[in-house]
């Protein structure tokens, strides 16, 4: 994905950001490169920040700073008494972007919604396999192909979803990045030209910014959408300066070469707070970091082996070394700030002697394994390599030899999904909709094996509980089901739960209007730069 357009390294110079310039350009020092620009194909926040949030819109959106779904491209909706039919009235007159590579001839209509969803759930849709080596991982992991019986155009501005069963978090799910609405007219034109893959390379939507170009692993440029249905952004140009090293991002922020950065090194946060040219936002993160064992591969197919390894991990040391204390050790697979968190579940105590005995009792000796460490900073794990090194030392103390491996981010995400993956993969999750289902079923359900379920763990009892919770409208009853599921998770230990972190967002003092998201998103439709 490399495109030529008229700006280069000078784009990132401080002079480029001069407030004397007539146009307002906002530079975000992003932490990594997107895997592509079609949000339906991916699950990583890095990709969503570069695609779903600037370029696209959804039927519903999350109210800024909350997990509450509100009207988006749909201005209203109704739900049938049996909870199986959702009818959405679309906003009239919503314009798709006009770009150098495509000029729309019509506004948003029901055809666009049907196209955007059906391609993800219908194997017979001609767009179902348009990008080799990818799949509709999010839709599949959430059971959408089984859930959605049909997506129907009632008229140009009315769409009906018919479900096979009730689904408590369905409205919130439609506000998530993977449910972004694309232009069927643009897709049809690409198909006619034999350029389907361009849908994932040169995106076109109804969002606050239109795509200008991407220089791979370097920079992405967007322009303000003056016709944005939600109100035109205050900035004229948005630039993602891809900067994988957190220390370098900080230097650029201090030098005025970018306005805002994600995922700072914990050791730098105090100096950021002391810098009069900067300001720092922070809040509890709706996240979890974990080490996913491949539960289909011996000896990790034995719960007692996984529990033994968990007892050998010094989580407090990881929290101190990686987060300088700005995180807490994790017990459950959902964060303690989320409703239905089971406070009665006890963590596996750090106990090297017990870990050794459990391995011996399981008949495991001279174990060698791999720990996969992410190559990028994420809110739930600022330095995966350092965390892996701590676990490597921990496991050595119980006679387990560890090799640390990593890959480029997109490759890491793809390889870690493989059902025959060796070792244990470090990853994490920031909630996408504020519902426990988005953790417990999306990451650990049987439908997600081979996708988001990196542990390849399919426990029928656990799966039945989370599936029952999906179709239950009463939150108190859903809470009981999720609490039971967490007990099973802890007993079976498909993961080592590592930490829940604070979300820290440093920015230049002149930045206004940025709203920190509990979902970990970085969106810029409301930002401005004080003159």
What is the pLDDT, as a whole number, of residue 7? 38
User: What is the dihedral angle through the alpha carbons of 516, 340, 171, 513, rounded to the nearest 10 degrees?
Assistant: -10
* Residue whose token pair is 């990686």: 322
Q: 513: closest CA among 505, 521, 522, 525?
A: 525
In degrees, to the nearest 5, what angle opens at C-alpha 476 toward C-alphas 475 and 481?
90
CA–CA gap between residue 304 and residue 301 (Å, rounded): 9
Residue 531 pLDDT: 78
pTM for the whole structure:
0.83
Counting Cα atoms < 13 Å in the Cβ hemisphere of 286 gives 20
Summary mean pLDDT of the chain: 94
* pLDDT tens profile 339-377: 999 999 999 999 999 999 999 999 999 999 999 999 988
Nearest alpha-carbon partner for 445 in 170, 141, 120, 43: 141
| Rounded-to-integer distance, Cα 159 and Cα 89, Å | 7
**Residue with structure tokens 């194997």?**
123
| pLDDT tens profile 443-461 | 999 989 998 999 999 999 9
Q: Summarize pLDDT for 299-325 with one digit per residue, the tens.
A: 999 999 999 999 999 999 999 999 998
């Amino acid at each position: 994905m490399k495109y030529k357009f008229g700006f280069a390294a000078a784009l990132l110079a401080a002079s480029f950001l001069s407030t004397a310039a007539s146009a307002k350009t906002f530079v975000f020092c992003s932490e990594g490169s997107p895997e592509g620009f079609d949000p339906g194909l991916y699950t990583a926040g890095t990709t969503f920040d570069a695609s779903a949030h600037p370029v696209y819109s959804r039927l519903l959106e999350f109210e800024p700073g909350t997990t509450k779904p509100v009207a988006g491209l749909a201005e209203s909706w109704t739900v049938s008494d049996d909870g199986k039919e959702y009818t959405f009235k679309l906003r009239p007159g919503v314009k798709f972007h006009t770009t150098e590579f495509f000029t729309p001839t019509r506004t948003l209509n029901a055809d666009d919604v049907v196209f955007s969803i059906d391609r993800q759930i219908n194997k017979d849709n001609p767009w179902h396999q348009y990008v080799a080596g990818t799949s509709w991982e999010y839709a599949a992991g959430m059971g959408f192909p089984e859930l959605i019986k049909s997506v129907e155009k009632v008229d140009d501005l009315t769409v009906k979803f018919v479900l096979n069963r009730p689904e408590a978090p369905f409205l919130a799910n439609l506000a998530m990045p993977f449910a972004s609405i694309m232009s069927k007219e643009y897709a049809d034109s690409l198909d006619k030209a034999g350029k389907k893959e361009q849908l994932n390379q040169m995106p076109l939507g109804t969002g606050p910014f239109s795509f200008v170009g991407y220089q791979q692993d370097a920079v992405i440029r967007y322009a303000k959408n003056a016709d944005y249905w939600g109100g035109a952004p205050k900035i004229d140009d948005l630039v993602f300066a891809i900067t994988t090293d957190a220390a370098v991002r900080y230097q650029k922020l201090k030098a005025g070469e970018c306005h805002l950065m994600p995922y700072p090194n914990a050791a730098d946060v105090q100096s950021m707070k002391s810098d009069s040219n900067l300001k720092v936002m922070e809040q509890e993160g709706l996240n979890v970091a974990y080490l996913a064992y491949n539960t289909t591969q011996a000896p990790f197919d034995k719960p007692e082996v996984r529990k033994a390894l968990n007892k050998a991990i010094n989580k407090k040391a990881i929290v101190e070394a990686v987060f300088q204390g700005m995180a807490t050790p994790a017990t459950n697979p959902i964060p303690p700030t989320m409703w239905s968190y089971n406070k009665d579940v006890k963590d596996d105590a750090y106990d090297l002697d017990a870990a050794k005995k459990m391995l011996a009792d399981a008949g495991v000796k001279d174990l060698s394994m791999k720990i996969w460490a992410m190559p990028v900073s994420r809110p739930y794990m600022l330095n995966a390599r350092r965390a892996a090194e701590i676990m490597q030392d921990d496991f050595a103390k119980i006679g387990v030899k560890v090799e640390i491996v990593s890959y480029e981010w997109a490759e890491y995400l793809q390889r870690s999904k493989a059902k025959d993956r060796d070792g244990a993969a470090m990853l994490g999750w920031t909630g996408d909709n504020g519902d426990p289902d988005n953790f417990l079923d999306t990451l650990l359900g049987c439908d997600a094996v081979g996708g988001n379920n990196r542990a390849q763990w399919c426990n029928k009892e656990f799966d039945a509980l989370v599936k029952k919770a999906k179709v239950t409208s009463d939150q108190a009853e859903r809470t009981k089901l999720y609490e039971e599921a967490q007990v099973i998770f802890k007993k079976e230990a498909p993961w080592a739960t590592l930490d829940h972190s604070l979300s820290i967002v440093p920015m230049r003092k002149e930045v206004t209007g940025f709203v920190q998201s509990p979902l970990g998103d970085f969106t810029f439709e409301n930002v401005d730069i004080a003159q």
